[in-house]
A = this chain, B = another copy of it.
Amino acid sequence: MTYVPYFDAASSAPLHPVARQALLAALDEGWADPARLYREGRRARLLLDAAREAAADAVGVRPDELTFTSSGTRALHDGIAGALAGRRRAGRHLVHSAVEHSAVLHAAAAHEAAGGTVAEVPVDRAGRVAPGAYAAALRAAPGPTALACLQSANHEVGTRQPVAETAAECAEAGVPLLVDAAQSLAFGPVPGDWSLLTASAHKWGGPSGVGLLAVRKGVRFAPQGPADERESGRAPGFENIPAVVAAAASLRAVREEAAAEAERLRELVDRIRTRVPRLVPDVEVVGDPERRLPHLVTFSCLYVDGEALLHELDRAGFSVSSGSSCTSGTLTPSHVLRAMGVLSEGNVRVSLPLGTAEEDVERFLAVLPDVVRGVRGRLGAPERAEEATAASAGSASGDSGVSAGPGGSAGPGAGGPGDEEAEVVVDSLGKLCPIPVIELAKVIGEVPVGGLVTVLADDEAARLDIPAWCAMRGHAYEGERPADRGTAYRVRRRA
């Protein structure tokens, strides 16, 4: 394992030494077809059976309830499809939280495209599903619900979900619950009376190419796609035994370490949660402060471009990820941040691998303020003082297409009809996050308290970040309207 500060364990963890060791041994013993009766096949079968027992024990199921898939994504895709098909006679409705992994959302979209129905359970500003929310969603369903899905903990903000309570609600309603345990399995088994569970080995330091799909006895399950005799018919293709052996061995090893490491990592994360808002102005730390994964923290920095921030942190030696738009090849901010209603610009997720050195976290905290200041400077972001006064309005309107006066230049859709109040319109069309918010901040001082600023923007992040900026700054967000081009966002100055 490398101790260079890699802070994106939630994306993929470096291979654990135990995984490496087990993989090497199993490469020599586990390459043959375990369905064959000759010695190489029998050896492979023994390894596969032992790995299944160890992994099942760590998950808390029987070995015959556990299938090895080729990835966590495949476990989710195939687990959801199989559970929905198994319950097809009961109904075609699927319920999941708004902050599930994209693999769940994609499986849900495929289900809808095939004629099924889907409902999303909302989360609070901390990213958490309320106890009782699934019970309510099941009651409100258009018909009997075939399957409910809930992650054990969120992959972007670390918030733990009320899985045991939700499982009880689902059991009460006779609906199976599938738990995506990808982020939490390293830290312990998932409690409660859930029906199906998925996970991914490379998240706990196991090798790539191994997912887990547990289906408890008595749960109706009908594998979809072409038949295949391997892995109880639930995961087609030749078994990847060396990787499976390494996955099981490292899960066991990581569990033992995690018992001690969890508290240490939790304390390191608490430092980041507490000190980043003190060190860096205009930061929102997101996710539940208590009911959370020990090793993961997420915050968003106003007036910062997520991609530039990641790039600068990478140059400073820190590998982190971001839910901001433009950082993942898409132009939309993360659906998790959107569902939470929190700021998405300048978003940073720090997830510490087991063994992270304290001094690396301290160095991160030492480096971050300058990095953020540098990005903000290059983007021409306003200083706090500047926003508050109209004095700087002239400089702020440099190339930001600001026009003042009633109605402005925004066309019929933007200013409300017959609305004669003081208004400034900012044309941020064609500009990407965080520019629309920066331009809004620069002109807010131009209108009197009680006056209106309308921002025209076509960047998707504006929909999330303008209301979030208003909440952080104490201004009133008055909603959006479609404009001739893009969307008009209306903000009333309150201070």
Decide yes or no: A237 and B27 within 8 Å by CB, A109-B226, A242-B208 being known contacts: no
Known A27-B207, A107-B226, A319-B36: A238·B41 in contact at CB below 8 Å? no
Among the listed B28, B237, B320, which residue makes an inter-chain contact with A72, where contact means beta carbons less than 8 Å apart? B237
Contact of A370 with B by CB under 8 A: no
Quickly give the copy total for this chain. 2
Give the total of A residues in contact with B, Cβ under 8 Å.
66
CB distance from A178 to the nearest CB of B (A): 14
- Decide: A70 near B70, CB < 8 A? Known: A37-B311, A209-B243, A237-B211: yes
Query: Which of A1-36 touch B at CB < 8 Å?
Result: 2, 6, 8, 11-15, 20, 23-24, 27-28, 31-33, 35-36
Taking the complex as formed, is A120 at the interface, i.e. its CB lies under 8 A from any CB of chain B? no
Q: A72 CA to B239 CA in the complex, in Å?
A: 11
A236 to B80, CA, bound (A): 14
**CB < 8 Å neighbour of A37 from B12, B81, B242, B327:** B327
Contacts of A14 in B (CB 8 A): 31-32
- With CB as the reference atom, state the residue of chain B lying closest to A70: B70
Is A32 touching B15 in the complex (CB atoms < 8 A)?
Answer: no
Residues of B contacting A242 in the complex (Cβ-Cβ under 8 angstroms): 207-208
Give A201 to B81 CA distance when docked, in angstroms.
28
Whether A35 touches B209, Cβ cut-off 8 Å, given contacts A70-B70, A73-B228, is no
| Docked complex: A302-350 residues within 8 A CB-CB of B | 307, 310-311, 313-314, 318-321, 327-329
| Cβ-defined contact, A319 with B237, below 8 A | no
CA distance A357 to B307 in the complex (A): 57
Pick the 5 closest A-B CB pairs, nearest first.
A71-B237, A70-B70, A38-B319, A209-B240, A106-B226
